[in-house]
């Protein structure tokens, strides 16, 4: 008997070099067992390069669709492939893997891999380790290793442009004293790609000094720049960007529209909320989903938790008045839900005397409270002295005696 999750028929198909496995079969490579890792390592290099490329791309796509899929073990095998495209794709698929053992491996790839495509992928994947370091989720020496490798790559003027700019994007998360200088220099770079990466790093820095540039680039004719400026305005939470972001929610580029809705949710405010509520009923399902997610974040982080339940089914979004404002004007019952817990079933709108009946002040203020329960005579002898300890000398002697007894006891941990 065997406890391997990968079927024998799939192994036979791979070993016979027949075809790229079907999507359903590829799911079997999630969470590989040790025995399967050894077997895949043994046959991986014998597969045709197009099969290896297609397989790694499929693993990455499956991981995006289902966050429970874990192809990290298989991708670690693929990141050592002889083909640069396979290596780069595998490294890109590890961009959310928090295993710190990847840090020295990716740092080595960033410095020594012969293909710029692979080095750039390593720089991008190291970015989330930089963020983890800033959040104190990895040890200082690991954080230092990441930053050192990225700084070396970015400051190497002979390095490929994509490698340098992706290294800068990763360093945007850091509060190193040199980070603002690097971002400023990158924004002044003649290459448009480097300037776009500089704006991305501005957003990651959470430094409001970049607010003016981020807002200006919202009007860039380049879609890539508008996209990164939109994200930066959201990450920097710039209220002054809201009017332009509302316009970008109707941009010709769907990705920019989606990012604009996300940014509005990060910034918050009544204008942002009204816009997101209107997009809840957008024709495009991508925009509906983006507006819904952004509105949830806005309500949770910026608004009254009573509005976190979302607009009621009958709200059409046509009015200039937001549904939350309309609810408040009608007397506001949403906030009362919080007193009873989340969910419609737990809330009874008829119980309007909840506070008066159950939590009236008189329940907690008995007029005779101090006199009946905490009279001084309960704690003080009428004669003015404690019967057992007539003076301080007796009390001190007892205290010293107890200390001696404790010292004589054997320490169980000795």
Q: What pLDDT does residue 345 have?
A: 38
Does residue 321 belong to any structural domain of this protein? yes
Give the residue numbers spanning the domain of 359. 315-381
Does residue 333 belong to any structural domain of this protein? yes
Of 31-45, 56-70, 358-372, minimum mean pLDDT range: 358-372
DSSP per residue, 282-333: -SSHHHHHHHHHHHHHHHHHTS-GGGGG---TT--S-SSS-HHHHHHHTT--
Sign of CA dihedral 329, 330, 331, 333: negative
Does residue 212 belong to any structural domain of this protein? no
Does residue 348 belong to any structural domain of this protein? yes
pLDDT digit string, tens, across residues 215-231:
999 999 999 999 999 99
In this structure, the dihedral spanned by the alpha carbons of residues 67, 165, 229 and 190, taken in order and rounded to 10 degrees, is: -160
pLDDT digit string, tens, across residues 112-135:
999 999 999 999 999 999 999 999
Please tell me which residue, 355 or 40, carries the higher pLDDT value.
Answer: 40
Does residue 203 belong to any structural domain of this protein? no
Does residue 174 belong to any structural domain of this protein? no
Calculate mean pLDDT across residues 84-107: 97
Q: What pLDDT does residue 11 have?
A: 80
Which 8-state DSSP code applies to residue 71? -
CB 111 within 8 A of CB 149: yes
Residue among 152, 155, 150, 179 nearest 167 (CA): 150
Calculate mean pLDDT across residues 74-82: 97
CB 101 within 8 A of CB 134: no
Q: What share of the chain is helix, strand, coil (3-state, %, to 5)?
A: 65, 0, 35
Residue 213: CB atoms within 10 Å:
17
Does residue 367 belong to any structural domain of this protein? yes
Sign of CA dihedral 60, 62, 68, 71: negative
Does residue 340 belong to any structural domain of this protein? yes
Q: What pLDDT does residue 75 have?
A: 97
CB 82 within 8 A of CB 108: no
Domain count for the chain, please give it: 1
Radius of gyration, CA atoms only, the chain:
32
Residue 184: CB atoms within 10 Å:
14
**CA–CA distance from 189 to each of 182, 196, 216, 397 (Å)?**
11, 10, 17, 81
| Three-state DSSP string of 122-138 | HHHHHHHHHHHHHCCCC
Which 8-state DSSP code applies to residue 388? S
Asked whether the predicted pLDDT for residue 254 surpasses 90, the reply is yes
């Amino acid at each position: 008997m065997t406890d391997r999750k990968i079927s024998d028929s799939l192994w036979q198909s791979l070993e016979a070099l027949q075809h790229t496995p079907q999507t359903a079969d590829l799911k079997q490579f999630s969470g590989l067992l040790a025995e399967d890792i050894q077997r895949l390592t043994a046959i991986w290099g014998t597969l045709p390069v197009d099969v290896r490329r297609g397989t790694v791309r499929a693993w990455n796509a499956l991981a995006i669709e289902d966050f429970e899929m874990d192809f990290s073990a298989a991708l670690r095998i693929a990141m050592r492939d002889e083909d640069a495209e396979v290596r780069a794709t595998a490294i890109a698929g590890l961009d959310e893997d928090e295993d710190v053992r990847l840090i020295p491996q990716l740092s080595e790839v960033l410095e020594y891999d012969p293909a710029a495509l692979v080095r750039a992928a390593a720089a991008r994947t190291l970015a989330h380790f930089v963020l983890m370091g800033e959040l104190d989720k990895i040890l200082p020496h690991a954080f230092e290793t990441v930053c050192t490798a990225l700084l070396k790559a970015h400051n190497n003027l002979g390095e490929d442009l994509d490698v340098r700019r992706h290294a800068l994007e990763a360093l945007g998360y850091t509060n190193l004293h040199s980070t603002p200088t690097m971002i400023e220099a990158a924004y002044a770079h003649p290459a448009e790609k480097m300037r776009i990466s500089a704006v991305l790093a501005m957003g990651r820095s959470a430094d409001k000094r970049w607010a003016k540039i981020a807002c200006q680039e919202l009007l860039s004719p380049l879609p890539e720049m508008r996209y990164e400026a939109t994200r930066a305005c959201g990450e920097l939470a710039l209220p002054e960007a809201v009017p332009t972001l509302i316009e970008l929610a109707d941009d010709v580029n769907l990705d920019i529209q989606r990012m604009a809705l996300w940014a509005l949710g990060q910034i918050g405010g009544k204008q942002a909320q009204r816009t997101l509520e209107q997009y809840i009923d957008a024709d495009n399902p991508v925009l509906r989903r983006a507006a819904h997610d952004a509105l949830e974040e806005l309500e949770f982080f910026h608004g009254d938790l009573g509005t976190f339940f979302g607009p009621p089914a009958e709200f059409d979004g046509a009015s200039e008045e937001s549904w939350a404002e309309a609810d408040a004007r009608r007397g506001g019952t949403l906030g009362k839900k919080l007193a009873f817990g989340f969910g419609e079933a737990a809330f009874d709108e008829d119980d309007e005397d909840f506070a008066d009946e159950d939590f009236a002040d008189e329940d907690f203020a008995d007029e005779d409270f101090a006199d009946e329960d905490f009279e001084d005579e309960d704690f003080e002898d009428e004669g003015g002295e404690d019967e057992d300890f007539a003076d301080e000398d007796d009390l001190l002697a007892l205290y010293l005696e107890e200390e001696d007894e404790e010292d004589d006891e054997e320490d169980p941990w000795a």
